Amino acid sequence: MYSHFIGQRITQLRLEKDISEYQLSLELGLSKSYIQGITSGKSQPSVKQLLNICDYFGITPAQFFDTDPAATLLFHETVNTLKGLNDSDIKLILNFAQRIQELTSEKLPSPPSVPASNCPIIPQK
């Protein structure tokens, strides 16, 4: 089960970071086809290499195996950034995010209906 998951998860993280399998392999100091072997299911990373992959993406092994679809790299990056802030700053950011959520969830009024004959942009026949 996890062999398939590991390859898929590496692909997901790699695409979120917009990096090729080849580039990821080289940046990890491995052979150019190392990541391709994992994502194709032909091989599995050692525990050491899996930890290196997690470090590369800035996530913990627990986050790597998190199956929550909301657990994207951006989500983890946001959480890691928030961990470095004090409570006062976190509260400000939380209030800001909640206000944005309120504004985006409010229904905007529909634009008024304008007959095509009254619209100067649409050419008249």
- Domains (range + CATH), the chain: 2-65 (1.10.260.40), 74-105 (no CATH)
Q: Which residue has the higher pLDDT, 74 or 14?
A: 14
Q: What is the pLDDT of residues 8-57, one digit of tens each?
A: 999 999 998 999 999 999 999 999 999 999 999 999 999 999 999 999 99
Q: What is the pLDDT of residues 86-122, one digit of tens each?
A: 999 999 999 988 888 888 877 655 556 655 555 555 4
The tokens for 108 are 């905007």
DSSP-derived secondary structure for 94-121 = HHHHHHHHHHHHSPPPPPPP--GGG-TT
Is the Cβ–Cβ distance between 53 and 45 less than 8 Å?
yes
